[in-house]
A and B are shown apart, each in its own frame.
Chain A
C-alpha cells in the first residue's frame, strides 16, 4: 500500500526552483532515506509533504489525503521531529508528553497510559518529572521520537534526527526506528550520516532540486560501483551545479 505518492511536485520561490518536478512513491512500513547536499531542496520537499508549504505545481497524497485539499487531515496522520525543534526544554518529560498528546487530541486516560508505556520503554521512569533540558542530548532525541509517534501516526518525518548524538545512543535511536517500521509505521528520514543511509530500505538522493537517484541501497551501490552509500552520495552530489542556493 502506498502511503506517500508524489507526482511532478515543484516548488518555486520567485525565479528559483527549490524542488524541481519530483516523483516517487513510498510503501507502508518503509524506511525511506532522503539525502542531499545543503541547499539541494530536501527541507523544502519535506515541508510540502508535511502540509507546511504549498507546492507551486504537481500532485501528492500523504497518508491517503490530497496535499492541496486535506492538508489538515495529513497533519493528524503524521508525526514530525527535527534536531532543531522537538521538545520544550523548560517543560518536564511528563508535561511534554501531555502537551503533544493533547495537540493530537488524545484523551487524558490515553495520554496517561501512553506516558507510562513510553517512559518505561525509554527507562526514564526516574526522571519523568525533571525538565527536558536536564536530559543528555541522546535521551532527548529518543524521547522526541517517541513523542512524535504518540498518536500512532501512519508516517513519521525525521529531519536530521541524530545530529551530534553519541554513537551508542544513535544506534539505540535507530533501533526505535526499526521497531516503528516493523509495526507498520512509514519512516521518512533525512541524515548527514552516511552509515545511516544504509539502514534505509530505499534511498532518494536529491541534487539541485531533482531526485537524481532512487532505489534500494544494494541496487544503488551496484549501479555506481560504490562500496558504500557515502561513495554513492559523493558521486551524485558532486554533480550539483547550483551548489549554492
Chain B
C-alpha cells in the first residue's frame, strides 16, 4: 500500500456560466518515506489536489487514499494523520511564535514537549524569537514556524503547498535541507512548488500544468526523456541573439536561460553549424554553441509545447 494513491481524480469549478476543469482525471502514487514534488505554475491545480487529499474538498469523480484511508469515507482518520501547510500564510499574526505552536499542538491533542524531537532542528532556529508575534517574522522564519506547526503532531504524511513561494534563495535552500532531514524520520512528504530548480531536490516529481500531469518520474529519468539535442548559445548581444535565433527556420525552439539561450534545431546537427555561420555573418561576436544536458525546466517546456500541439 502506498502512502498516497490517486485514481482518476477530476475536479471542476463553476466560474460564472462556464465550468473550469481544475484537474483532468489525475492518477499517481506516492511511496512511503518518499519526498514527492508537484512542480507547476500557479493555476496548475496543485492546491486543489492538496485540498482533495487533505479532505478539505470533495473530488468530482475518482478516488484517492492517504495512508490507506479513503479521503471521503475515512476523512476523520486522515485528519488525525496528516500535516498540512496551506499556501497562504496560515498562522495567527497576533499570537507569538510559542503561542502559535502551542495552539496547533493543542489542536491535535498533543504538546510541544511530546514531539519536540521531531521539530527540534527547526525550532531551535526560531526559538530566539519565541516571544515575537508571528506577524513580525520575516518570510523564511514564518515558513519555518508554519512547518513546525504542521509537524507538531508527528504526521505520517506531510502536505506542503508552495512552502517556498516568495521566499528568497537562501531561505529556500535551508527549507529544503530541513525537508531532507525530515524525510529521514520516515515521513512521507508531498510538496508543491512553482520553482523548477527545486525539482532536483525531490525523489520523484510530477510536472503539472493546467490540471494535467505532463510527466511523472525521478528528476533524472525525466530529463532523459528529452528527445532532442539541446544546445546552449551565447554571444555578446544576447537579446539580438535571441531575436536572430528565433528568425532562423532551422531553429525549433529558443528560450533565454539565464546567461545563455537554450536552442533545439530541426533536422540534423549540421543545422547547428549552419546557423552558427549565419549568425557570424549577421555580425554577432563570439558566438558559441555547445551541446548540453537538459534540465527539468527544459523538459517542462518541451512537454508544455507537446501538450499544446496535441
Contacts and interface: CB of A to CB of B under 8 A. Distances in A.
Contact of B169 (A134, A138, A194): A194
Contacts, number: 104
B100 to A, nearest CB: 16
Contacts of A244: 129, 137-138, 140-141
B164 to A, nearest CB: 9
Given A39-B139, A137-B43, A164-B194, A178 B258 contact: no
B258 A195 contact: yes
A138 B171 CA distance: 25
Interface string A31-45: 000001111100000
Interface stretch (B61-69, B153-161, B223-231, B297-305): B297-305
A14 interface: no
B209 interface: yes
Contacts of B194: 163-165
Contacts of A137: 41-43
Contacts of A165: 41-42, 194
A175 B41 contact: no
Nearest to B126: A244
A234 B169 contact: yes
A164 B193 CA distance: 8
A37 B168 contact: yes
Interface string A150-169: 00000000001001111111
Interface residues of B, number: 40
Most buried by B among A36, A165, A244: A244
B301 A167 contact: yes
B255 A171 contact: yes
A238 interface: yes
B131 interface: no
Contacts of A18: none
Contacts of B242: 175, 178
A198 B258 contact: yes
Interface stretch (A3-11, A66-74, A117-125, A225-233): A225-233
A99 interface: no
B170 A195 contact: no
Contacts of B168: 36-38, 40, 192, 237
A167 B296 CA distance: 11
Contacts of A229: 258-259
Nearest to B262: A171
Interface string B47-68: 0000000000000000000000
A245 B138 CA distance: 6
B170 A199 contact: no
A217 to B, nearest CB: 7
B173 interface: yes
14 contacts: A37-B140, A37-B170, A38-B166, A39-B138, A163-B194, A166-B40, A166-B300, A168-B304, A171-B255, A192-B166, A194-B197, A199-B256, A228-B259, A237-B168
Interface of B: 15, 40-44, 129, 137-141, 162, 165-173, 194-197, 209, 238-239, 242, 255-259, 297, 300-301, 304-305
Given A229-B258, A238-B170, 20 more contacts: A37-B140, A37-B168, A37-B169, A38-B140, A38-B168, A138-B41, A160-B166, A163-B165, A164-B41, A165-B41, A165-B194, A168-B304, A192-B169, A193-B195, A230-B169, A233-B170, A234-B169, A234-B170, A244-B140, A244-B141
